[in-house]
Structure 1
Amino acid sequence: MPQPAFAQQSPITQFNSESGLGVFSKYSEIDIDGDWFDLDDFGPAAPERLDEVSIPESLRPNFAAFYFKLDPDLHVLAFESYSESKGLSARSVEKYFKEALRKPRIVKKFGRVEADVVKSYGEVERIIQLEHLKELKLTIRRPNTDGVYGDLASEIEERLAEQNGEEYQEITRSKDEDGLSPNDRTKKLAIVAAENGEVSGKSIVNGVLVSHTTQQKPEKVVDTYNRDEVGTRNKFLQLARKILTVVRKRRSDLRDPT
């Protein structure tokens, strides 16, 4: 399959298995043999101008580095999404891991493994608490629980595994004027869906049916800092610990029988 003329790549270029700290390196792939634009003539570049183009094979432009921190117990990776005025999207990181986990040698050794972005817990709660909520849809891809979510997620995982299923959906609708009132089980299941799928809903707002979704809303921690006072690495580790603590607390609440 041919490469696009301009593509972004974000491979893992550093990783310390003891600390769990690593680096994504983002850069651009340019098709040297593709068509070029001449800013001087404001049109397609003449062939003789292309003879002036010389880029070493091993070099790539637009480099940026982003720290990540892996917590093997949680099966969660926290990463920088903004560094040195450049961004790394959650979608691109998700795509990177999905493609890596589909490689034959990985599947052969570990079986089917899913990668997903942890969606905003706050957005999940907002959707569940909407006034006049007419529909609530929970989509859960097969979670790798290892007991981290408690019995609720384990039940979903077992149900999917025994039927060779990849995805579980639960949809609840209401025709009542007041809408849905999600119970405790649904609220907990929504947290599982936030980490392994998607939560979406429909509510009546000013007489109009409005859709809501967590699809493009990852869980994140935002902060500003002075690089002269706090190094980038130290600040990242501080924020990574904070977001991993949030995930740990949410999962602890799921296991709590009360």
Structure 2
Amino acid sequence: MARNFKVEVAAINIRIPEDKKRDYEALIETIARLRRGVRVYGDTHVVISSYSRKENTGVISKYTEIDLDGDWFNQNSFDAATPEQLSEINIPNHLKPNYASFYFSLDPKEHVLAFTSYAGAKALSTKGVEKFFKTAVTWREVKSEFGRVEADLIKDYGAVEDILNLPHLKELEFIIRPPNNDDIGSTLAAVIEESLREQNADEYEEKLKAKGKKNINPNKRTRALGNVAAENGEFRAKNLEKGMKVSYNTADKPLTEMEIHTKEASDLSVFRIVAKKIFGKISAKREEVRRITATE
């Protein structure tokens, strides 16, 4: 009987500012060319190890950076390793342990990068990938060509809807970093851009609160704003439950798509199928947001 394998894909929303050329292939190519890893948590580092502009597909690699100068444990003596024992260690600086590779694909039109978060019993932290890109877009070589680029992990639209459907909503908070106007419609984009420009701010915040026995009843615009925040920032809420305000946050709920397959299919071919699904879901949600905000 053939064994089943799971492939899970998540996505990063990348936005080059309007006053720069929005060449997303060139942006990813620049980051890849720098061959610079980022420590994303503990000793784990992430780097783009390859990228094909022709295919808009590449590989994200994960590895461990060992502190060779730190203390070592000797399992035989169950004590600290001696200087003599440490002198026997000879690991070249360019070799890194715990290597794992994961595919990614770029949709330049939607400026979304889909990446494998789980495959072959190996996992790649979605927050780790977000941290890599948030760091990479601040590198001098990137900023000089593309300006202030934003990168955010896309959160689960279903989680947004679940929160907005809670029966006793008391607080809603939307934190939005500069979005791409084409994604959210000109009406909502104008409100966000004007607020940021007038106040010389980097993040747009909007809050709703209900006091006493009142509960928030989200309208279409608020629901659209929740999805905008899911792609470009954060969405938080508080719901009254048994007399206590319970907090909700989409930060820990990334948008993912999954496929179960057998080893007869190649990892790359399965990844492309799942990436296509997540690109389609994002595109459809953006069209829905544009339609809603155009009529508000």
TM-score scaled by length of structure 1 = 0.92
Higher RCO, Cα 8 Å, sep 6+ = 2
What one-letter code is carried by the residue in structure 1 that aligns with 2:96?
R
SS of residue paired to 1:116 = strand
> Once the 2 structures are TM-superposed, how far is the Cα of residue 51 of structure 1 from its aligned partner?
1.8
Q: Which among 113, 122, 147 is matched to residue 182 of structure 2? A: 147
Q: Which runs of 5+ in 1 are unaligned?
A: none
User: Distance in 2 between the 1:235 and 1:186 partners?
Assistant: 36
Q: Which among 88, 100, 116 is matched to residue 52 of structure 1? A: 88
Q: Which residue of 2 aligns with 1:67?
A: 103
Q: Which runs of 5+ in 2 are unaligned?
A: 1-38
Select the structure that is richer in strand. 2
User: Distance in 2 between the 1:159 and 1:208 partners?
Assistant: 33
User: Distance in 1 between the 2:116 and 2:196 partners?
Assistant: 33
> Once the 2 structures are TM-superposed, how far is the Cα of residue 66 of structure 1 from its aligned partner?
0.3
Matched-pair identity in %: 44
User: Distance in 2 between the 1:34 and 1:83 partners?
Assistant: 32
Per-residue CA deviations over 1:4-51 (Å, capped at 9, x if unaligned) read xx6111110111112211100111111112110111111211111112
User: Aligned-pair RMSD on alpha carbons?
Assistant: 1.8
Per-residue CA deviations over 1:46-67 (Å, capped at 9, x if unaligned) read 1111122111222111110000
> Once the 2 structures are TM-superposed, how far is the Cα of residue 119 of structure 1 from its aligned partner?
0.7
User: Distance in 1 between the 2:200 and 2:114 partners?
Assistant: 30
Alignment pair present for 1:120 and 2:165: no
User: Distance in 2 between the 1:129 and 1:176 partners?
Assistant: 19
User: Distance in 2 between the 1:62 and 1:157 partners?
Assistant: 44
What one-letter code is carried by the residue in structure 2 that aligns with 1:198?
E
What one-letter code is carried by the residue in structure 1 that aligns with 2:265?
V
Alignment pair present for 1:21 and 2:68: no
User: Distance in 1 between the 2:210 and 2:181 partners?
Assistant: 34
Per-residue CA deviations over 1:103-141 (Å, capped at 9, x if unaligned) read 123222222111110011011111111011111111111
> Once the 2 structures are TM-superposed, how far is the Cα of residue 84 of structure 1 from its aligned partner?
2.9
User: Distance in 2 between the 1:51 and 1:109 partners?
Assistant: 46
Alignment pair present for 1:202 and 2:238: yes
User: Distance in 2 between the 1:146 and 1:73 partners?
Assistant: 13
Paired residues, number: 253
Q: Which residue of 2 aligns with 1:241?
A: 276
User: Distance in 2 between the 1:246 and 1:83 partners?
Assistant: 21
Contact 1:147-1:154 within 8 A present in 2 as well:
no
TM-score scaled by length of structure 2 = 0.81
> Once the 2 structures are TM-superposed, how far is the Cα of residue 206 of structure 1 from its aligned partner?
2.3
> Once the 2 structures are TM-superposed, how far is the Cα of residue 177 of structure 1 from its aligned partner?
2.8
Contact 1:78-1:243 within 8 A present in 2 as well:
yes
Matches within 5 A, 1:165-180: 165-177=201-213, 179-180=215-216
Name segments (4+ residues, structure 1) moved above 3 Å. Answer: none
Alignment pair present for 1:133 and 2:169: yes
SS of residue paired to 2:277 = helix
SS of residue paired to 1:253 = helix
**Which range moved further: 145-154 or 67-76?**
145-154
User: Distance in 1 between the 2:127 and 2:80 partners?
Assistant: 33
**Which range moved further: 19-28 or 153-162?**
153-162
Per-residue CA deviations over 1:178-232 (Å, capped at 9, x if unaligned) read 51101111111111100011111001122221100001111001232212x2111
Contact 1:160-1:168 within 8 A present in 2 as well:
yes
User: Distance in 1 between the 2:232 and 2:131 partners?
Assistant: 14
